[in-house]
Amino acid sequence: MKKENKSVIIWLLSGCALLFIMVVVGGITRLTNSGLSMTDWHLVTDTLPPLTEAKWQETFDKYKQFPEYQKINIHNDFTLDDYKFIYFWEWFHRFIGRIIGLVFVIPFIYFLFKKRLSPQTIKKCIVLLFMGGFQGFLGWFMVRSGLIDNPDVSHFRLSLHLTFAFITFAYTLWVALDLIYPERKPVQKSLRSIARYALAFLLLQIIYGGFVAGLNAGLIHNHWPLMSDGQFIHDSVFLEQKNWLLSFTEGKSGVQFIHRMLAYVVVGIMVLLYFKSKKYNLNKAQTKGINLLLILVFGQFVLGVFTLLYGVPLWLGLTHQINAFFLLSAMVFTLHRLSK
C-alpha cells in the first residue's frame, strides 16, 4: 500500500462502513414495517423529522390517506406514538443515505483538486457515484410500489434495492482493496473460477433473501430440514401459483424453498473452495480469506435455520442480514486476493 493512498483508502472504507450501517438500519426498517411511514419525500425539508406536535399530527394525517393505514393499521389501534416509532426508522434510513452522499462527494472533489486519485481510481469512483445515485432511485422506486393500492412494497423492488446495496458495498470494498494490495500473486485458474461461482451464487441467495423478506415467506413452514412434518418439499410450493416460474418467484412457499436449496449450494461451493485451496501454495491473506469464508458461511447457515425455526424475530432476522454482509465482505476479499 502506497503511503499517499492512505487517506483515499480510509475514505473508501468509511463509505463501506456507512453502507453497512445503512443496510442494517434498512433491515430494521423492513422488520418493523416502517418503510411506508414517509409518504412524501423532499431533499431539504425532510432532513429533520417533524419538530412540533402540530407538524407530527399533520404528517400522521397524510399517512392516514395511504393504503398501509387504511387497510392494516386502522384496525390495530394505531396511535401517533406508534407512527413516530415507524417514522423514525424510515427517516433515519434516508438520513444515512444523505450522509453517505456527502461523505462520498465532498472528499471526492477534494482528492480530485489535490490530484490524489489516479485516472483508474477516478473512473471507478465515477462508477460509484452513479451507483449511489441509482440506489437512491431504487429506494424511491421500491417505496412507491406500496403507496398506490397495495400496502406492501413489491418484493421484486425490495430485493433489487437490497441486492444493489450489497453490490455497491462490494464494489466500494474492491476499489479500496485495489489500493491496499496493488500487487497480486498469480493463482491457479480453477481456484479463481470456484471463487467466482461462489460469489455468483451468494448474490443469487441475497436476491432470494430479498424475495423472502418482501413476501414475509419466513413466517411459514417453520420447520427444518423438512418444510413440514414429513415433507421435504411442501405441496404448496407447486399449488400456490399457476406455473413453476411464478411459484419460484412470487409464491411464498416456492421462494422459501429456493432460498433453502440455495443455502446448501452456497455452503457446498465454499467447502469445495476450501478443500481445493489445500492443493496450492497460497499466501497468508489468501488462506485467511478462505478460512474466514468457511466459518462465516456455516454461521450464516445456522443463523438462517434458527431464524426460520423461531419465525423471524427481529434480532435473529437482523443478525442473519448482518452476517450476510460479513460473508459478502469475506467473499470479495478472497476473490480479490485470488484475482490477477
Domain boundaries, the chain: 1-183, 185-340
Quickly count: other Cβ atoms within 10 Å of residue 37's Cβ.
Answer: 25
pLDDT in tens, 69-103: 888 888 888 999 999 999 999 999 999 999 999 99
How far apart, in Å, are the Cα atoms of 237 and each of 153, 202, 242? 22, 23, 11
Percent of the chain residues topping a pLDDT of 70:
96
Residue 117 to residue 104: CA distance in whole angstroms: 14
**Nearest CA among 320, 267, 259 for reference residue 294:** 267
**Predicted confidence (pLDDT) per residue in 134-182, tens digit:** 998 888 888 888 888 778 889 999 999 999 999 999 999 999 999 998 8
Residue 246: is its pLDDT beyond 80? yes
Which residues have CB under 8 Å from 253's CB, separation 6+? 217, 220, 221, 227, 234, 236, 237, 240, 247
Read off the C-alpha cell for 209: 433473501
Mean pLDDT of 122-126: 94
For residue 157, the number of C-alpha atoms closer than 13 Å in the C-beta half-sphere is: 17
3-state secondary structure of 228: strand
The pLDDT assigned to 186 comes to: 66
Q: pTM for this structure?
A: 0.92
What is residue 146's predicted lDDT score, i.e. its pLDDT? 80
9-52 confidence digits (pLDDT tens): 999 999 999 999 999 999 899 989 888 888 877 655 567 888 89
